[in-house]
Structure 1
Amino acid sequence: MQYTVNGESHDTAPITVAELVASITPAASGVAVAVNGDVVPRSAWDRPIAAGDAIDVLTAVQGG
């Protein structure tokens, strides 16, 4: 199954949004996800990623 994460193409077995986020960052908070331009609340991260989805994973960074 192919999908895009932060502009990079990926080809893996089916996974959920939560599994994808866990594979990208160990952060337990400060993470936002959008799928096809729609923000996905953390309560919906158990949704599966579909072929062709464009996913953006953003993490908060401290600093100034």
Structure 2
Amino acid sequence: MLTEKPALAPLLREAQPSRQTAPERATRLLLQILSLERQGNQHELVERRKALRDLHAGLYAAYMKTR
């Protein structure tokens, strides 16, 4: 959802953490990535993209399709 509609990021960013499951961590990581894209922080962006790829390859692939 975030890869297709990044404007939803502010709403999801306000959600409270739950159990720190892999899907939740991947979603929070994607929120960070979307923010870093707007900031132009390439070093952090590369690191977070690698972390997302390592955590959830499918979500990483869906995200990269939109880039």
- What TM-score range do you get, normalising by the shorter chain? under 0.3
- TM-score normalised by L of structure 1: 0.23
Tell me which protein shows more helix as a share of its residues. 2
Tell me which protein shows more strand as a share of its residues. 1
- TM-score normalised by L of structure 2: 0.22
